Amino acid sequence: MDYRNKLVLAPMVRVGTLPFRLLAAQYGADITYGEEIIDHKLLKCERRINDVIGSTDIVEKGTENVVFRTCGEERNRVVFQMGTSDAVRALTAAQLVCKDVAAIDVNMGCPKAFSISGGMGAALLSKPELIHDILTMLKRNLWIPVTCKIRLLNSTHDSVELARRIEKTGVSAVAVHGRRVADRPRDPANWSEIATVVDALSIPVIANGDVFEFEDFQHIRSVTGASSVMIARGALWNASIFHPEGTPVEDVKREYVRKSILWDHDIKSTKYTLKEMIMHYTSLELPEGKAVTKSESLADIARVYGEEKYYESVHRMRNGVGDGSSPR
C-alpha cells in the first residue's frame, strides 16, 4: 500500500460498505476505508466465504448478520478501520480480517458518545501511552500496513507531539482530520494546522476536511503539503467527486443501487446512503425520497430507480438461469 499522491475515501459509519467503496473506486478513489467496526463485535464473528455472490464475509457467529463484507476486486485498496481501546483485543480482532484487506487503521478521531464512552475514537487522543501500545502491538504482529486517523488536539504543539509519537510506532501513514473534537461539521477545517503536522513528520500524512469538489484535492494538498487527501461528505453526496469530470448524481445513485443489488447489500444501509444523497440536493418529502423511505427490499429500491431488469438478471444468474453472462 502506497500512501503518497492518493485520493482516499474516508471511513463513514453505515456508508463505507462494499457497494459504496466499489462505487468510489469506480470513479477514481485509490484507497477506500470501510466504516469503523468495534473490536468487541469482531471477537464475536467468524470469517466465511460467500460463494453465491463471490464475497468474503465477517459474520456474527450463529447468525447471518454480516458485519463486514469485501471481495477480491478491492483487496489491494480497502482499509479496515477498527475502534479499540486495548492492544491485545485490537490484535485479535485485526487477525480475523487481515488476510482480506490492504491495511488496518485505528480510529482515534471519532467524537461520538458511543465511541468515547468505550475509551475508543477521540478518547484515545488523551492517552498517548495507550496509542503507543495499540499501534506497536499491531505493527509488530501484522504483515500488512497499520495506520491511524486522528483529530487535531487543543493546541498545535500537542497535535505535533502526538503525531510524532505515533510516527515512532512505525505506522505507514497517519490521517489528520483538520477539526478538534469539539468542532462540528459546519466549523471550517484548519488546513494550516494540518500543514504544521505534515512539516513535523517524515511518514505520509493524509489530509481530511472540507473537500467538496475535485479541485479541492489539489487545493488542500498545496496548502498542507500532505501526501494524500481523504474525503467524506463530498464523496457521500456524489461519489464521482474522485473523477475530474464528475457524473450527475442521478447516475451515481443508480450505479450505487446496482452495486447494492449485485452484492446483496443490507436494505437498511442501502436506504440510509441513498437518503443522505437525496437530502443534500432535494428533500425526502419529494416522490423519490418518499419511495426510498417506504422501500422494504432491494427489489423495491430497484423499482424506484428503474433497475428492475438488472435486479432480475442478478437473481437469474444466482439461480443458475440465463445465458451465464455476468450483470456486472
Residue 89: which CATH number? Answer: 3.20.20.70
Do 226 and 279 belong to one domain? no
- Which grid coordinates belong to 280? 443534500
Share of the chain above pLDDT 70, in %: 98
Domain assignment present for 49: yes
Residue 144: domain span: 7-242
Do 294 and 234 fall within a single domain?
no
pLDDT of 302 strictly over 80: yes
Flag whether pLDDT at 239 surpasses 90.
yes
| Residue 326 maps to a domain | no
Q: String of b and e for 250-287 (b: at least 16 CB within 10 Å)?
A: eebbbbbbbbbbbbbbbbebbbebbeebbeeeeeeeee
Average pLDDT, the chain: 95
Residue 287 shares a structural domain with residue 192: no
Task: Cite the DSSP H helix spans in 43-103.
Answer: 87-97
**Would you say residue 327 lies in a domain?**
no
In a domain, 160, yes or no: yes
45's grid cell: 464473528
**pLDDT per position as a tens digit, 114-136:** 788 789 999 999 999 999 999 99
Task: Please say which residue of 189, 212, 242 terminates a domain.
Answer: 242
Q: Which amino acid makes up residue 42?
A: L
Number of domains the chain contains: 2
Cβ-proximal residues to 304 (8 Å cutoff; 6+ apart), any chain? 257, 288, 291, 292, 295
Q: Write down which residue in 242, 267, 292 finishes a domain.
A: 242
What mean pLDDT do residues 49-75 have? 97
- Decide which of 242, 257, 289 is a domain's last residue: 242
Q: How confident is the model at residue 325 (pLDDT cuts 50, 70, 90)?
A: very low
pLDDT by residue (tens digit) across 67-77?
999 999 999 99
- Give the confidence band of 327 by pLDDT, cuts at 50, 70, 90: low
- 29 within domain boundaries: yes
pLDDT of residue 266: 96
Tell me the average pLDDT across 1-14.
96
Q: DSSP label at 122?
A: G
Quick one: average pLDDT of 214-231? 97
Task: State residue 314's pLDDT score.
Answer: 97
Query: What is residue 312's predicted lDDT score, i.e. its pLDDT?
Result: 97
pLDDT at 324: 42
pLDDT of residue 220: 97
Could you list the active site residues?
Answer: 110
Q: Does residue 164 form part of some domain?
A: yes
- Judge whether 6 and 228 are in contact, CB under 8 Å: yes
Percent of the chain topping pLDDT 90: 91
Grid coordinates in use for 73?
476486486
> What integer is the mean pLDDT of 2-13?
97
Kindly state the average pLDDT of the residues 321-326: 48
Q: How confident is the model at residue 323 (pLDDT cuts 50, 70, 90)?
A: very low
**Angle at the Cα of 74 from the Cα atoms of 73 and 76, rounded to 5 degrees:** 110
Question: Does 308 map to a domain?
Answer: yes
Collapsing DSSP to helix, strand or coil, 151 comes out as strand
Q: What is the mean pLDDT of residues 95-108?
A: 97
138-155 pLDDT, tens digit per residue, is: 999 999 999 999 999 999
> Quick one: 288 and 173 in the same domain?
no
| pLDDT confidence bin for 320, thresholds 50/70/90 | confident
Confirm whether 203 is domain-assigned.
yes
8: CB partners within 8 A, 6+ apart: 29, 30, 31, 32, 33, 175, 206, 228, 229, 230, 231
For residues 88 and 25, membership in a common domain is answered with: yes
